[in-house]
């Protein structure tokens, strides 16, 4: 009786041990299986993410993301991959925009924006100014004038001022060329053109008190006219502006001083030329602060 009970207990113990070992084996196999499956899922997800980024490619620059979003259909917008791509793109745009704002001055922005639209400025940014297009040339005492007679006189009123100071003193040239008294326009647009000429009358030694009446008045009554012309491919230059002044100098004065100024807005084309002529070059005083000519781009 006692021996039978002992054998039964041994059998029960063996069964429990076998069951426990079986459970451990099942748990181990399950763990290994799940671990393998998790690795495969991670690998598949990683490959999917890379494929998501590489499949259609990121857009080329800021601002393009919205255009691409508008071009896709509604189901694709709801796709997780597409949403992930757009979020990455927007984050990249924001980082680049912030870096761009911090590191680059407005002057450098202006130069780069002439060639690139990237990075795009936000609506709060001030658009960089365009490169300067302006010129101011001043009188030169060594100046030359178009001689009277010949074909030029038939085409123009007055004598052309052929020499201005374009480099020294108050004179400057920004993107504008200067040649033989003419300013050469580098870009089509609206320009403000201006000019002033300084007239100085000196009485000649032969003008003495013997002159009287009409002869005296004629010698001192001078009409001074300033013209500003535009020259294009058309053979005859086009008159843009003119201004005139008639003066009568006092008999006892050593000299008389007058100036004529005019200015206006005109549309000029690429490579147009503008220049100044005067009715009587012998009366011109080519002082740099008094006789000058220039133009600058408005829009």
Annotated binding site for Zn(2+): 248
Give yes or no for a cis peptide into 119 (omega within 30° of 0).
yes
DSSP, residue by residue, 206-225:
T--TT--HHHHHHHHEEEEE
The number of C-alpha atoms within 13 Å of 239 and in the hemisphere containing its C-beta is 12
Residue carrying the six token digits 């709801």: 78
The tokens 């200015």 sit on which residue? 263
Q: 150: Cβ–Cβ under 8 A, 6 or more apart, which residues?
A: none
* 265 within 8 A of 191, measured Cβ to Cβ: yes
* Residue 104 tokens, joined: 């680059």
List CB contacts of 23: < 8 A, sequence separation 6 or more: none
Question: What token pair was written down for 87?
Answer: 């979020």
Task: Map residue 145 onto helix, strand or coil.
Answer: strand
**Dihedral of CA 206/207/208/210: which sign?**
positive
From residue 77, alpha-carbon distances to 48, 58, 86, 186 in Å are: 17, 15, 9, 48
Residues tagged in the binding site annotation? 248
Q: What long-range pairs does 118-121 form, CB within 8 A, spacing at least 24?
A: 118/60, 118/61, 118/62, 119/61, 119/62, 119/93, 120/61, 120/62, 120/63
CA-based end-to-end distance of the chain: 120
């Amino acid at each position: 009786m006692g021996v039978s009970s002992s054998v039964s207990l041994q059998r029960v113990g063996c069964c429990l041990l076998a069951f426990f070992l079986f459970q451990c084996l099942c748990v181990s196999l399950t763990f290994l299986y799940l671990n393998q499956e998790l690795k495969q899922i991670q690998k598949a997800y990683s490959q999917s993410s890379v494929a998501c980024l590489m499949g259609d490619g990121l857009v080329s620059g800021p601002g393009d993301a919205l255009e691409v979003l508008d071009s896709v259909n509604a189901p694709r917008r709801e796709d997780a991959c597409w949403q992930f791509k757009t979020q990455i793109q927007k984050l990249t745009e924001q980082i680049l925009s912030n870096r761009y704002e911090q590191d680059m001055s407005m002057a450098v922005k202006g130069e780069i924006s002439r060639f690139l639209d990237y990075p795009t400025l936000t609506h709060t940014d001030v658009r960089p100014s365009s490169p300067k297009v302006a010129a101011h040339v001043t009188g030169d005492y060594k100046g030359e004038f178009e001689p009277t007679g010949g074909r030029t006189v038939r085409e123009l009123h007055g004598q052309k001022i052929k020499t201005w100071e374009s480099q020294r003193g108050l004179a400057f040239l920004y993107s504008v060329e200067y040649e033989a008294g003419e300013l050469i326009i580098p870009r089509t647009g609206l320009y403000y053109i201006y000019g002033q000429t300084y007239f100085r009358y000196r009485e000649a030694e032969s003008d003495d008190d013997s002159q009287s009446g009409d002869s005296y008045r004629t010698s001192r009554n001078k009409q001074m006219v300033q013209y500003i012309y535009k020259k294009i491919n058309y053979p005859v230059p086009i008159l843009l502006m003119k201004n005139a002044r008639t003066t009568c100098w006092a008999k006892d004065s050593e000299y008389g001083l007058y100036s004529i100024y005019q200015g206006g807005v005109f549309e000029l084309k690429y490579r147009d030329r503008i220049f100044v002529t005067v009715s009587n070059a012998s009366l011109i005083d080519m002082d740099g602060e008094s006789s000058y000519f220039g133009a600058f781009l408005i829009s």
